[in-house]
Amino acid sequence: MVKKAHLQPYLTSSELKARYLCCSDRVESRRWHLLWLVSKQWTIQQASLAVGLNYDYAKDIVKAYNQQGEVAIANRRRQRTAPPSHALLNTEQLEELRSSLKQQPEDKGIWTGPKVADWIAKKTGREKVWSQRGWDYLKKCRYSAQRPRPRHAKADPEAQQEFKKNCTKELENCNKNFRMRS
């Protein structure tokens, strides 16, 4: 016969059931459900199967509850908070960046994430600003990637103009043929 698990008497069976039924967090609710079933003399294996948890994980939950009480059941993922994201630029500096984006950068190229990151580092006196943060600020200023249209190195402008002239004639011929068929 399988040995029944023992729960420390932190809460009664009815209190465990109440916690299970009123809990809004799904992870915590499953844990309370497991403990309630174990308190009703179910084995950990039966209770874990009924609740849909891995047997070893269920044993860990029961063990943690016996050692720590109600605190062990809390979903610690919800307690984690994201690190605060501090803005690199205040509103004045952001406006200054927007006006700088309207002119060419120092190297006469186009504005990129690394260039904006360098600009921010100079303005704020920071040692390092990551390129991604520069790109984030470009997007914040509603700046799109200003890349010139690619041109082939061996392109012949005269041949391109000739192609454009012939292309319109070819299109007119195609349209005439299409109208005749329909």
Domain range spanning residue 52? 13-76
For 138-170, write each residue's pLDDT tens digit: 999 988 776 778 888 888 888 888 888 887 777
Number of alpha carbons in the 13 Å side-chain half-sphere of residue 20: 18
**100 and 72 in one domain?**
no
What total of structural domains would you count in the chain? 2
pLDDT of residue 113: 92
- 57 and 99 within one domain: no
Q: How confident is the model at residue 69 (pLDDT cuts 50, 70, 90)?
A: very high
Distance CA 64, CA 35 (A): 11
- Residue 4 lies inside a defined structural domain of this protein: no
**Do 27 and 70 have their domain in common?**
yes
Say if 112 falls within a structural domain. Answer: yes
Q: Decide if 148 is inside a domain.
A: no
Statement to judge: residues 60 and 114 lie in one domain: no
Residue 66 near residue 38, CB atoms below 8 Å: no
